């Protein structure tokens, strides 16, 4: 759909990605070889292209259009927990040779482990 | 290190919650009784919240607030987790019983299915989206 097509420069794309990864302006400016003040201009052009002044709405739209990919922003803690569960599921499956039926309780347990682990995470400085 | 229960005070928590719900600054100012220096007070609240949550924008502030359960995902979920778990369980059972792929590949596909389950839940409340 051409109506939804937004073309971003590389600087705008990187700015958006680094921003969602929670890097601060100074880091982003250094990474992009820009002055910190120039980031306001990048922010402005992004808001113009997305036709919104709301940064959260802009990010939501970027995900919706596939400019940002949800898989790229999964917390590493969640990835580690998922790896552990995937391994356990395979082990359980191997122990039952025929007619194995995976229980959805395992998925709910996985979700509980994720939420309780994330809640306990210590906030590190910016 | 912050103690979670005291990480944000009541006013900051209300500010965060109202902002997530999409209220504009005027409505938030009214709710929190900002009678003077409204612009400064908005800026102060935003900076305090960002600083305490150690984030640089509202998107990450909301994400962290849900992770720390300062915002309750149950209030904003638009998908049924049980139903979603049931759908993914069926898929995982099919993967496990498949004779066409080896166990290592099964493990990888299941890992990706678990991530996709978690992503669907997270963006359901974060972006209030069903898909």
Assign A1 a pLDDT band (cuts: 50, 70, 90). very low
ipTM, 2 dp: 0.89
Name the DSSP class of A4.
Answer: G
pLDDT value, residue A126: 56
| pLDDT tens per residue across span B3-62 | 555 799 999 999 999 999 999 999 999 999 998 898 999 999 999 999 999 999 999 999
Model confidence at A125: pLDDT above 80: no
| pLDDT tens per residue across span A66-84 | 999 999 999 999 999 999 9
Q: Is B129 left (phi over 0), alpha (psi -120 to 50) or beta?
A: beta
pLDDT value, residue B31: 93
CB-CB neighbors (< 8 A) of B117 in chain A: 107, 110-111
Retrieve residue A77's tokens: 């803690």
Distance from C-alpha of B76 to C-alpha of B94, rounded to nearest angstrom: 31
Sign of the C-alpha dihedral computed for residues B105, B93, B124 and B77 taken in this order: negative
Which chain B residue is nearest to residue A120, measuring alpha carbons? Answer: B68
| pLDDT tens per residue across span A15-49 | 999 999 999 999 999 999 999 889 999 999 999 99
Contact state of B119 with A74 under an 8 Å Cβ cutoff? yes
Nearest-Cα distance to chain B for A53, in Å, is: 12
pLDDT value, residue A124: 65
pLDDT value, residue B1: 44
> Which residue, among A83, A121, A19, A85, has the nearest Cα to B60 in the 3D structure?
A19
Which chain B residue is nearest to residue A101, measuring alpha carbons? Answer: B93
Model confidence at A2: pLDDT above 80: no
* Residues 62-121 in B contacting A (C-alpha not used; CB under 8 Å): 62, 64, 67-69, 73, 81-82, 85-86, 88-89, 92-93, 96-97, 103, 106-108, 110-111, 114-115, 117-119, 121
Cβ-contact A66, A72 below 8 angstroms: no
Which chain A residue is nearest to residue B86, measuring alpha carbons? Answer: A104
pLDDT value, residue B71: 96
pTM: 0.90
Contact state of A100 with B97 under an 8 Å Cβ cutoff? yes
Contact state of B4 with A119 under an 8 Å Cβ cutoff? yes
Q: Which residue has the higher pLDDT, A43 or A4?
A: A43
pLDDT value, residue B96: 92
Region A95-119: mean pLDDT is: 90
């Amino acid at each position: 759909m051409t109506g939804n097509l937004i073309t971003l420069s590389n600087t705008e794309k990187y700015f958006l990605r680094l921003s969602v990864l929670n890097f601060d302006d100074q880091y982003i400016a250094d990474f992009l070889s820009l002055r910190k003040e120039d980031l306001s201009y990048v922010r402005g052009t992004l808001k113009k292209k997305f036709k919104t002044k709301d940064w959260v709405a802009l990010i939501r739209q970027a995900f919706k259009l596939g400019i940002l990919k949800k898989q790229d922003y999964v917390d590493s803690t969640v990835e580690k927990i998922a790896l552990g569960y995937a391994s356990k599921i395979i082990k359980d499956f191997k122990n039952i040779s025929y007619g194995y039926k995976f229980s959805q309780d395992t998925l709910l347990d996985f979700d509980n482990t994720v939420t309780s682990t994330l809640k306990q995470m210590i906030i590190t400085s910016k | 290190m912050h103690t979670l229960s005291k990480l944000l005070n009541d006013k900051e928590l209300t500010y965060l919650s109202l902002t997530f719900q999409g209220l504009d600054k005027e409505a938030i100012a009214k709710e929190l009784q900002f009678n003077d220096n409204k612009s400064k007070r908005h800026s102060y609240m935003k900076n305090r919240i960002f600083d305490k949550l150690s984030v640089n924008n509202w998107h990450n502030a909301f994400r962290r607030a849900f992770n720390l359960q300062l915002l309750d995902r149950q209030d904003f979920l638009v998908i049924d987790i049980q139903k979603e778990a049931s759908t993914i369980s069926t898929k995982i059972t099919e993967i496990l019983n498949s004779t066409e792929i080896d166990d290592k590949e099964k493990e990888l596909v299941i890992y990706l299915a678990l991530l996709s389950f978690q992503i669907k839940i997270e963006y359901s409340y974060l972006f209030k989206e069903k898909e």
